[in-house]
């Protein structure tokens, strides 16, 4: 079985998802356990051959994964294909999903790894360009969200500089800053989605912020 082409969820397609959520919440008063129970149920149904169950999982997390991918790639022309690839990878990897984990952090790991690979390929494609062309190409592909990792930069000019600096980070560092500062994942969620321990999360995040600050200093932005 293979999922069909992923389409954005519509308002009229949420009845089954709502039903699953209500069932899960009746089983436990704890919201986290309820959501995990709902997702686990949908995964089990998918593995049993129920294609609609996987469509429900897609509808539940489509917007969050779309936002994550856009923060990384900032290319509308790549977004649809990227989402197709990510959800297909998730579908193929479902037999390896550990139900004691949060499904959405597991899905974030797949999406993050995909984006990191795409960003690394972009960098390889830019190696042969001269410095001016390389800089223009990088800046053209940076995220344009009004949010930034540095809240102190409020003017549009400084926001643009932070975006440029963020795009110049190593993809691993860029990824953890996006997950923490833009997506709002906790240290625990970062550890699970990146498959590293909390100590590594903190050290990698610290290094990412240090590198970001260094780039901004070189740009005379701070």
C-alpha to C-alpha distance for 134 and 112, rounded to whole angstroms: 24
pLDDT of 135 reads: 46
* pLDDT, the chain, mean: 79
Class of domain 1-100: mainly alpha
C-alpha to C-alpha distance for 175 and 194, rounded to whole angstroms: 10
pLDDT band at residue 14 using 50, 70 and 90 as cut-offs: low
The per-residue pLDDT for range 25-84, each reduced to its tens digit, is 454 446 778 888 899 999 999 999 998 999 999 999 999 999 999 888 888 888 999 999
Whether pTM > 0.85 for this model: the answer is no
Three-state SS for the chain is: CCCCCCCCCCHHHCHHHHHHHHHHHHHCCCHHHHHHHHHHHHHHHHHCCCHHHHHHHHHHHHHHHHHHHHHHHCCHHHHHHHHHHHHHHHHHHHHHCCCCCCHHHHHHHHHHHHHHHHHHHHHHHHCCCCHHHHHHHHHHCCCCCCCCCCCCCCCHHHHHHHHHHHHCCCHHHHHHHHHHHHCCCCHHHHHHHHCCCHHHHHHHHHHHHHHHHHHHHHCCCC
The per-residue pLDDT for range 89-139, each reduced to its tens digit, is 999 999 999 877 789 999 999 999 999 998 888 776 655 444 555 444 444
C-alpha to C-alpha distance for 20 and 77, rounded to whole angstroms: 34
Q: Where are the domains of the chain?
A: 1-100
Any residues with CB less than 8 A from the CB of 33 and at least 6 apart, and which?
none
Token pair 């001016």 is found at 132
C-alpha to C-alpha distance for 121 and 187, rounded to whole angstroms: 28
């Amino acid at each position: 079985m293979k999922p069909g082409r992923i389409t954005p969820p519509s308002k009229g397609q949420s009845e089954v998802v709502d039903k699953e959520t209500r069932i899960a919440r009746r089983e436990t008063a704890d919201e986290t356990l309820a959501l995990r129970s709902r997702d686990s149920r949908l995964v089990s149904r998918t593995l049993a051959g129920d294609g609609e169950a996987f469509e429900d999982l897609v509808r539940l997390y489509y917007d969050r994964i779309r936002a994550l991918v856009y923060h990384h790639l900032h290319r509308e022309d790549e977004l649809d294909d990227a989402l197709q690839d990510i959800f297909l990878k998730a579908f193929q990897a479902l037999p390896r999903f550990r139900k004691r984990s949060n499904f959405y952090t597991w899905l974030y790991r797949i999406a993050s790894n995909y984006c990191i690979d795409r960003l690394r390929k972009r960098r390889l494609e830019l190696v042969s360009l001269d410095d001016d062309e390389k800089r223009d190409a990088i800046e053209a592909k940076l995220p344009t969200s009004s949010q930034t990792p540095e809240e102190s930069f409020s003017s549009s000019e400084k926001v643009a500089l932070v975006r440029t600096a963020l795009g110049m980070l190593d993809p691993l560092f860029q990824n953890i800053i996006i997950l923490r500062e833009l997506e709002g994942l906790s240290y625990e969620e970062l550890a699970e989605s990146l498959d590293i321990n909390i100590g590594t999360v903190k050290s990698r995040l610290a290094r990412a912020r240090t590198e970001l600050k260094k780039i901004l200093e070189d740009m005379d932005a701070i």
